[in-house]
Chains A and B, each alone.
Chain A
Amino acid sequence: MQPEHDLSKPFDATTDITTDLTIPRLFYRQAKRFGAGRVAMREKEYGIWRPITWQDYLDNVKAIALGLIRLGLEPGDKVSMMGANRPEGLWAEMAALCAGGVGVWLFQDCLMEEVRYILDHSDTKFLFGEGQEEVDKALSIVSECPKLKKIIWDDPKGMRHYHQDILMSLEDLKALGRELDREKPELFEQLIQRGHGDDTALLFYTSGTTSLPKGALLSHHNMLSMGQSLMSVDPCFPTDDYVSYLPFAWIGEQMMSISCGLQIGYTLNFPESQETAQENIRDIGPHVMFAPPRMYEQMTRTVQVKYLDATWLKRTMYNLASRIGYHVADLKFQKKPIPPLWRFLAWFAYITVQKKLKDHLGLSRVRNAYTGGAAMGPDHFRFFHAMGVNLKQIYGQTEVAGISVVHRNGDIKFDTVGLPIPGTEIRITEEGEIITRSASVFKGYYKNPEATAKAIRDGWLHSDDKGFIDDDGHLVVFDRTKDVFTLRDGKLFSPQYLETRLKFSPYIKDSWVIGDKKAFITAVLCIDYAVVGIWADERKMNYTNYQELSQKPEVYDLIEKQIRQANKDLPEAARVYRFTNLYKEFDADDDELTRTRKLRRAFVEKRYKEILDALYSDVDTVHIDTTIKYEDGRQSHVITDMTIRTIR
């Protein structure tokens, strides 16, 4: 019997986290410490930011946790969550942990088959869905998941005709919990006293660029130690604000909202809806941000597109300010002092352009902005630094409960991901694989001992990523081992690098670079329908849909120009020589991207084999005859000719 954990002691973020601490205990202590006087989270609802204090947070979690107990939750039972970022989702997760369960998050846009696979594989007993959409998904697969006992929903919209026994509203669940609380007022604290830091807290399904999702088991200690290490590098404060809008099924969001958020006690802000996220970020002006590169790429694109539409004066000012910004950023990258004249110019650029620009992007208060999860191109990276945003690369993975390597202030190199966080050892094996050892290395894959044995060898987590450590001790991540290309001159080359360069053009939304052991590099590009659409409208071009627009010769000219720009200052062998515009966008629903929007190379290579073959023969069109499946289940037959262009 372990000694009782002292729940009355306020949590001290500076002391080392031991395995005695669990997420529920930390949550309870923080809630008691901050109480009703401090806002734990806010949600924008009906146009107003509504605060939820730590006391409300605790009350809700308590009611839900006890409700789950009343419904028969046993320690170690899996509780799944699906839905948008909203307080109820986080309450459910925290309640599941408090009650001794294990949390599983699903992406909201998961297709039925993925939902079925995860619910079934994880042995989920309770599912929290947001509203009608999630309930519909769950109901359609419920017969195939016999272990599922209850589906709980919180948004009553459209739910008036649902009376199935397996359904229950969150309010009813909370009522059950409150009833139990009246019967056994001690129970909740007793539950929190149960468990150990090494117990599994979360079962995290990795999206996997290659295979079926694998369930990574993360313990309380994995999560909390990771959070503490990151916070020791870049401290946050209880007065800080953070906007939670990326899926909780992504480890990065868990890291910020739970691992870090709970320790620091900063305020989590939930946007009104998915569409308003960008606007709501601006409302809040968060102090810390963590997003995959695509979010930053989107911001860059927004600026570039607005720039195209701006007046002459604004464009001139912007050009001037960004030239100053780039120069100052480059000095900082080279760790050179900034001369007084440039300091003055930087101030000028700040007050004339950057201040406003940052405000529009919601970046005006950001101390640290992190990006990770995929490669970010140097162009995007420099773009943010030129604006005066302290953007840092991180390197991490689900299996280390978040991140293991991060840039330090004043020591940022845009081709590296920085230095290991405290408590983390990074090594490179003889084959060039990055391996990690820390307290945050996960417990293994659920029901998959082979994969676990492959991933953890002698306590080292094998990442399957290639990289090296440079002279300053920074880690450079090259690419997934299998994704590294050999060029015709025998040099190694990372396709992601070129892909991100191409994506710096506002007209190109996605890119896929091909050319491993080939005579030259080719690319398949997806135009950005909105941006190219505006461009085409200005030129009074006629088109009816994406497919038609993508194949216009004028659009090919435009894209060729963008490629030439990206090709500049690349070695001859690494330049894109032939390209084609794909007739559709890459889509996660078609398995072409993972849910975090990483390209699944092996899959697209198989799917678009004819395009690939055409790129490496001497034809200049490829005939496509295929069926596209839409999200609503309709199918449509596509017959088109895709032009292939050679850049001379």
Chain B
Amino acid sequence: MQAKPNPSDEVLLELQHVSMLFGKVTALSDVTLQIRKGEIHSVIGPNGAGKTVMMNCISGVYRPQKGEVRYKGKVINHLRPYERAKLGISRTFQKVEVFGGMTVLDNIRLGRHIHMKSGIVSGAVYVGKTAREEIEHRKFIEEEIIDLLEIEHIRNKPVGMLPYGLQKRVELGRALALEPELLILDEPLAGLNLEEVEDMARFILDVNEEKRWQVTCLLVEHDMGVVMDLSDRVFVLNFGNMIMDGTPAEVQSNPEVIKAYLGEEDLYATRA
């Protein structure tokens, strides 16, 4: 893996003392986290550590009872998911949430929705402005997304008929169609075979590093090999508590992390 330019110091997303409770179960307790612009920040932790809850707090599915979620310095606690999407936060899901009956292209187009300007009337007439706008969007999808993710061969196939690995790719494509500044990837590698993992890891790096994109990524992942390779920083969560936040090297050498996470040798276990 080649070294990449240091991410800037500008903080894109910040969680301050965030706590989230479901009844008496504390899913997150007093979590503080900073994600700087341009970095890939991974969250690891055993099952039930609260990783997905954290993602949901950021994307707006849940609202934390305590603490603040700040995006570009502004508190966004009160914003709904679609409002956060407009700010440039986009996500994929642990279990793919695509529209199975729709084609790949339609699924990705859906991600462009918030960038559509034309109204209901001009949409109904569909000449001039709307048609031009649609051509622009299609161009973006083709040149930036389909080409990047190498899904030319399936663009007109219904997503439900595709293998899981490709569905994951389509979901990433839809998230990218939003042209996000922050991309939340909830276990993008789960259930993929080795080749698909390598592809997906490359896409994440591309999106993060390519001049065109430079998207800040927040990654939840179990595949330690990939996490350690890709991430600039790793955040370790256990039972809703932050254990540590540091570089991959620091995390790997931290005995507390090793103890808490998966048992001692498994931390380094990756796909054989």
Chain A residues engaging chain B, CB cutoff 8 angstroms: 46-48, 157-158, 160-161, 272-273, 275-276, 279, 632, 634
Contact = CB atoms under 8 A, between A and B. Distances in A.
A275 B206 contact: no
A47 B147 CA distance: 9
A47 B155 contact: yes
Contacts of B210: 160
22 contacts: A46-B142, A46-B143, A46-B146, A46-B147, A47-B142, A47-B146, A47-B155, A48-B142, A157-B148, A157-B206, A158-B202, A158-B206, A160-B209, A160-B211, A161-B2, A272-B152, A273-B153, A275-B153, A276-B152, A632-B194, A632-B195, A634-B194
Contacts of A273: 150, 152-153
Contacts of A160: 209-211
Interface of B: 2, 139, 142-143, 146-148, 150, 152-153, 155, 194-195, 198, 202, 206, 209-211
B153 A279 contact: yes
Contacts of B198: 632
Given A160-B210, A272-B153, A632-B194, 9 more contacts: A46-B142, A46-B143, A46-B146, A46-B147, A47-B152, A47-B155, A157-B206, A276-B152, A276-B153
Contacts of A279: 153
Contacts of B194: 632, 634
A273 B146 CA distance: 12
A495 B248 CA distance: 59
A46 B142 CA distance: 5
Contacts of A272: 152-153
- Ranked nearest first, the 3 interchain pairs of A and B with the lowest CB-CB distance are A275-B153, A46-B142, A161-B2
Contacts of A46: 139, 142-143, 146-147
Contacts of B139: 46
A47 B155 CA distance: 9
Contacts of B147: 46
Contacts, number: 32
Contacts of B142: 46-48
B199 to A, nearest CB: 11
Contacts of B209: 160
A269 B198 CA distance: 31
A205 B232 CA distance: 46
A43 to B, nearest CB: 12
A521 to B, nearest CB: 38
Contacts of A157: 148, 206
A272 to B, nearest CB: 5
Contacts of B202: 158
A243 to B, nearest CB: 15
A273 B2 CA distance: 28
Contacts of B150: 273
Contacts of A161: 2
Nearest to B2: A161
Contacts of A276: 152-153
A279 B157 CA distance: 12
B134 to A, nearest CB: 14
Nearest to A132: B202
A272 B147 CA distance: 10
A250 B146 CA distance: 30
Nearest to A44: B152
A161 B142 CA distance: 24
A273 B147 CA distance: 10
B202 to A, nearest CB: 7
Given A158-B206, A160-B209, A632-B195, A275 B152 contact: yes
Between A47, A157, A160, A275, the greatest number of chain B beta carbons within 10 A of the residue's beta carbon is seen for A47
Between A46, A158, A276, A279, the greatest number of chain B beta carbons within 10 A of the residue's beta carbon is seen for A46
A154 to B, nearest CB: 14
A631 to B, nearest CB: 9
Nearest to B202: A158
A416 to B, nearest CB: 38
Nearest to A632: B194
B107 to A, nearest CB: 15
Nearest to B144: A46
A636 to B, nearest CB: 10
A279 B153 CA distance: 8
A171 to B, nearest CB: 16
Contacts of A275: 152-153
Contacts of A158: 202, 206
B117 to A, nearest CB: 22
A589 to B, nearest CB: 14
A295 B157 CA distance: 23
A586 B148 CA distance: 32
Contacts of B143: 46
Nearest to B147: A46
B38 to A, nearest CB: 14
A161 B5 CA distance: 11
A272 B143 CA distance: 13
B198 to A, nearest CB: 8
A634 B198 CA distance: 14
Nearest to A161: B2
A90 B146 CA distance: 25
Contacts of B146: 46-47
A161 B208 CA distance: 13
A271 to B, nearest CB: 9
A157 B202 CA distance: 11
B158 to A, nearest CB: 15
